[in-house]
Amino acid sequence: MAGKFGRAGLTAALGAACAMLVALPPAAQAAPVAADPHAGTLAALKTFQAAAGPGAGVHAGDATNTWSLSVGTGTINTNAPIQPNEHYRIGSQTKTFTAATVLQLVDEGKVSLDAPIGKYLPGVVAGNGYDGNAITVRHLLHHTSGVAVYEPFSTPPARNPDGTYSLEALVREGLKRPPASAPGTAFLYSNTNYLILGMLVEKTTGMPVHRAVTDRIVTPLGLTRTVFPAPGDHLLPTPAVHGYHGVRIGGFYFWSRVLDYDPSVFSSAGAMISTEEDLTKFYQALIGGKIVSPAALAEMEKTAGADFEGIGYGLGLLRRDLPCGGSAWGHNGMVPGYYTQTMVTADGRHVSVVTNAHLATNIPSAQMDKVVTTALCENR
């Protein structure tokens, strides 16, 4: 642990060191110590972890170099720094995979962004004030559908006999909440939008959404440590970052392992598993034009109607305007046990961050943002 100095104490310490250095003969002088190029990011990561889970890790770099930092531990009661190749549940970063799959279907002429969802899923978005003929595919991708907020883990629908959840049941449960606004008039982030899009993918491709995303994106990109688990698959592959529930009260904290749950409760809105390295590869491929056409990517990056101070939301993509200039694209995610974010820039800079707890209160979003922006703006 570094010592703490007041301004006077630090000046005195530096003065003493300089005096001693001057007194040494040339042969005894120590070589100057190079400054740590990642000191700012490490400081931000420590601040983040102090308000987050038992551990935190960051994997970052530019078009030619990558580096990783970790503080705390990936497994409580051990010294196990989080590594960039370790698996964790990525939560809503899944939405970008789902959005990219839908945009591939747009590229193939099988789906139109501005067609009503009722054209593809008749009768699904209906009743309780909803009209599937007024809500477009774009509205769902952009979270401007007016569909109300829904947290499926807190209020899940009835399970299937095998303990899994169907997309149809999740959507029905989500739509029990009345519309928050008219379609196309306001931004409101809702998991139900992406559960409906999961149904769209299944109807259009004729296969389960986990298989469609895997076959279209995960396998072609060689994301060997990325998994969209099938319903009923509870396994978190090894090596893994273990997720925890917990609270922080001042300097005290209490952690317990996340209870087992079926990831199908999040499905196309948040079920996937990946690593810092694989997520970086995915977002770089997407922004680099290797997953969807240039025209489709341009649509994904349109944030009009969902622009806020320093950030914007496109079609499954979050934009962060950087303090050093330019913007980064990616997404964040929060599920039981994990809080994550990955962002990349067009010139090859990238950052992926994970902590192994999702705190229900006092979420350290500002501290997460500081890690992201500091890493992306190093030496700029």
Could you report how far apart the first and last alpha carbons of the chain are, in Å?
Answer: 28
Q: Which of 92, 264, 274, 352 is catalytic?
A: 92
| pLDDT for 12 beyond 60 | no
pLDDT for 24 equals 26
Cβ–Cβ < 8 Å for 98, 316: yes
Mean pLDDT of 218-239: 98
pLDDT in tens, 108-144: 999 999 999 999 999 999 999 999 999 999 999 999 9
Looking at the predicted structure, is the pLDDT value of residue 2 above 50?
no
Determine the average pLDDT of the residues in 360-376.
Answer: 94
Using CB atoms within 10 Å of the CB of residue 168, give its burial: 0 to 12 exposed, 13 to 18 middle, 19+ buried.
middle
Spatial distance between the Cα atoms of 75 and 67, rounded to a whole number of angstroms: 22
pLDDT at residue 11 above 80? no
| Res 288: pLDDT | 97
* Residue 360, token pair as written in the block: 């229900």
Would you say residue 315 has pLDDT above 70?
A: yes
pLDDT on residue 252: 76
pTM: 0.90
Q: Please determine, for residue 363, whether its predicted confidence score (pLDDT) is greater than 80.
A: yes
pLDDT at 91 over 70: yes
Residue 154 annotated to the active site: no
Is residue 4 over pLDDT 80? no
Candidate from 26-35, 68-77, 81-90, 325-334 with smallest mean pLDDT: 26-35
pLDDT of residue 32: 46
Does the pLDDT of residue 179 top 70, yes or no? yes
Q: What is the mean pLDDT of residues 232-259?
A: 89
CB proximity list for 356: less than 8 A, separation 6 or greater: 53, 54, 55, 56, 74, 82, 88, 241, 242, 243, 244, 337, 338
By percentage, how much of the chain surpasses pLDDT 70? 91
Q: Is 61 left (phi over 0), alpha (psi -120 to 50) or beta?
A: left
31 pLDDT exceeds 60?
Answer: no
Quote the pLDDT of residue 35: 62
